[in-house]
Amino acid sequence: MDLLLSDGGIELKTNYRIQTVLVLTLLLLCSAFGAAEPGGNGDSIQNMQCGGACHGDASMNETSGSILSLSSPATIYVGVPTTLTLTATNLDTSTTRLVGLFLLTDMTGHSDTPQDAGWEILSDANGGAMNYIEQKLDPGQNETSISWVLRASTLGPTTFYAAIHHGGGYSSPFFGTTASGFEVTVQPVPENLPRLSADFTPPTLRTLDTPTEFNIETQFTDSMQFEWKSEDGLIMNAIVNSTENNSWTATIPAALQPTTVQWRVILGGEGPEQTTPWFTLAAEESSWEVTINAVYLQAFALLFLTAGIVIALQTRFSSDASTSKYDEELVGIKTGVSDKTPDDLEENDGGEQA
């Protein structure tokens, strides 16, 4: 681009104008590719449109060919955890092989999470308690099945839906939903049914290298078995101790790597024996700690040290200013308001036009 300065105005040669427009157009076109998030957004509580993301935008997305289906146990009691399983088949994703899966209670795009319908998510397949979770498929894998553990707080029917977001050819954002709603009916819990306490919230995270002790509160329970399994699927039992009436503890070994385990309890009592859903527990490294004051002190030291060094050197280098041949030429062709210090501007009353 060549700039011609004349009479205080700036003219662009026609050729360079065209080139500039072409470059800007190209940059604008590139933004559509750069705006994608192929790395996903992470597990979270999301509505069907994922907060207005590209996948939920009807003008941008494409229909996913995935087939989604939901399933649940035949009987669901109020206040008792239950499992909803989503099976996705015919998956075709982008090169990142990342899929985002939603559990929803309507298809309006707002107020459509299970929480909005009075359900509490106790556990998801990734070791959290989110209605939107992301999974990375293995090469060649074109189906997956994931489960959420939920607890209903009200009686009556609820219709669940599932949705999927994923990438595909030419970076298109794909979007798909279940063909129809999946209705479940919450029934009153029978008297004397052994069950987890209504306010029991299972842990979803634990730290590495530390055995995990579970403190489990139950109702109408005389005995408990604790089962857990790691990612290889082998089911193991942990020793259960009763600390007081309907209060139990069990300990599982420490995790050495950031993996997930699943656990459940089998409850015995006067009523029929009950087996809880599999709860997912993820292991992560213990939280990182640092002395905050030392960080702030070093941050401000870096700020003032860099500023001080720059100004000190600049003052030194500029003080012995010897105008180079090139600079003399530059001064001769400079136009517009010259770059002067405030003191210069005061002296010249508004600057200088070269």
- Residues lying near other proteins in the complex (CB under 8 A): 2-5, 37, 39-42, 287-315, 317-324, 326-327, 329-330, 333-336, 338-344, 347
In terms of CB distance, is 98 or 265 closer to other proteins?
98
Question: Using CA atoms, how far apart are residues 114 and 97, in angstroms rounded to an integer?
Answer: 26
Distances (CA, A) of 291 to 24, 67, 73, 286: 47, 51, 50, 16
Question: Look-up: residue for tokens 């993820």?
Answer: 282
Measured from the Cβ of residue 60, the count of other Cβ atoms closer than 10 Å reads 13
Tokens matching residue 276 = 């809880």
In terms of CB distance, is 47 or 218 closer to other proteins?
47
In terms of CB distance, is 245 or 319 closer to other proteins?
319
Question: Using CA atoms, how far apart are residues 210 and 212, in angstroms rounded to an integer?
Answer: 6
In terms of CB distance, is 245 or 291 closer to other proteins?
291
The amino acid occupying position 145 is S
In terms of CB distance, is 40 or 269 closer to other proteins?
40
Nearest to 158 by CA among 99, 124, 117: 117
Shortest distance, CB of residue 18 to other proteins, whole angstroms?
Answer: 19
In terms of CB distance, is 14 or 315 closer to other proteins?
315
Shortest distance, CB of residue 115 to other proteins, whole angstroms?
Answer: 18
Shortest distance, CB of residue 252 to other proteins, whole angstroms?
Answer: 25
Shortest distance, CB of residue 327 to other proteins, whole angstroms?
Answer: 6
Give the side-chain half-sphere CA count within 13 A for 140: 0
Shortest distance, CB of residue 296 to other proteins, whole angstroms?
Answer: 8
In terms of CB distance, is 15 or 275 closer to other proteins?
15
Q: Which residues contact 266 (CB under 8 A, 6 or more apart)?
A: 224, 225, 227, 273, 274, 275, 276
Shortest distance, CB of residue 173 to other proteins, whole angstroms?
Answer: 16
Cα torsion for 288, 291, 295, 297, to the nearest 10°? 180
Question: Look-up: residue for tokens 């035949």?
Answer: 74
Question: Using CA atoms, how far apart are residues 181 and 107, in angstroms rounded to an integer?
Answer: 9
Shortest distance, CB of residue 260 to other proteins, whole angstroms?
Answer: 18
Shortest distance, CB of residue 345 to other proteins, whole angstroms?
Answer: 9
In terms of CB distance, is 126 or 247 closer to other proteins?
126
Nearest to 67 by CA among 97, 49, 46, 92: 92
**Exposed (0-12), middle (13-18) or buried (19+): which is 130, by Cβ within 10 Å?**
buried
In terms of CB distance, is 39 or 139 closer to other proteins?
39
Measured from the Cβ of residue 330, the count of other Cβ atoms closer than 10 Å reads 11
Question: Using CA atoms, how far apart are residues 327 and 330, in angstroms rounded to an integer?
Answer: 5
Shortest distance, CB of residue 90 to other proteins, whole angstroms?
Answer: 27
